[in-house]
Amino acid sequence: MGGGAGAPREFAAAPGRDCRYSIVPAAVSTQAFSVLVDLHTHTSASDGELEPLALLQMQAAAGVGLTAFTDHDTLDGWDRIGAMAAPAAGLPRLLPGIEFSVDAAGREIHVVGLGFDPAHAAIRDGIASQQVRRRARAERIAARLDYLGVHGALAGAELAAAGAGLGRPHFARFLVASGRVRTVDEAFHRYLGKGKPAACRMEWPGMAEATGWIRAAGGRAVLAHPLAYKMTRSKLRALIAQFCDCGGDAVEVALPGLAPADMEMVGQLAREAGLRASAGSDFHAAGGWNVPGRIPPLPAGLDPVWEDWI
């Protein structure tokens, strides 16, 4: 890096990785920006493995220059970094982020919020209502597990959560720790997954309500990992159209492991709806497939949502 005031600003990707995004903002047409972005990550504030600072350090090592913690229905990870007197130099720029669960198309859908005012009442009130929903579901799950002979599940899940908002992964970790199952996947397969004996449906807010929280706080709403919902192309097109009608801004197009043809299909649906594109690792744990820095480039002809923050 280096150079004078007119030189390009650059965040280098790790050696051998062709995953940077070259952006020329319209307002500064003579200055090129090359930034590796990761706008979908999870810390220990929700169901991620790493503490917020440790995740930022991992991203810095991968060459990430712009990122967001998008923990499930909480800003605790953001708040922890904000409480630091002086975060270390050389870390990625951190945007306020969150991942809200919503009810749409008869199923649970995830909406990522980016770049909002983290102190805004709309966001904080939305988080509070989500945590009430999560707590109520946790108590129902614990009651079902107790009926099945698995006692102490609520306390065990709270211990696994270590202060984070309770979710099914924390019950899964309790089931592993208590010897009921060998792996988290087995916990979902036997107890917690859809149609299993301890599964409890959550009454999430509607899509328009959650996007409204994000937009009211000045942020951008992104439809997360659209291919994860296992929809046909026509149903996915309808979901994206609904998201657009609810005030959505972008669709998550680039994630690690997606085939180019799949990204092109999602990108085409985003173009048709007039929405921008986002990219992220959906990082949860070190050593997995979704490692920061391994995000493929966006297909051509898409408008990156992160241009607002570069």
Q: What is the pLDDT of residues 85-101, one digit of tens each?
A: 555 678 999 999 999 99
Helices (H), 188-295: 207-216, 233-245, 260-273
Most distant pair of Cα atoms in the chain: their distance: 68
Hey, what long-range contacts does 119-122 have (CB within 8 A, 24 or more apart)? 120/216, 120/217, 120/218, 122/212, 122/213, 122/216, 122/217
Cα–Cα distance, 208 to 50 (Å, whole number): 31
Between residues 249 and 46, the one the model is more confident about: 249
Is the Cβ–Cβ distance between 89 and 62 less than 8 Å? Answer: no
Strands 9-10 and 33-41, by their bridges, are parallel
pLDDT above 70 covers a percentage of the chain that reads 86
Predicted pLDDT of residue 65: 92
Instruction: Give every CB contact of residue 265 below 8 A, 6+ residues apart in sequence.
Output: 233
In this prediction the pTM is 0.82
- Across 13-17, 49-53, 167-171, 272-276, the highest mean pLDDT is recorded for 272-276
Q: Cα-flanking dihedrals φ and ψ of residue 61, to 5°?
A: -65, -30
Q: Is 119 left (phi over 0), alpha (psi -120 to 50) or beta?
A: alpha
* pLDDT tier for residue 289 given thresholds of 50, 70 and 90: low
Instruction: Give every CB contact of residue 285 below 8 A, 6+ residues apart in sequence.
Output: 48, 49, 50
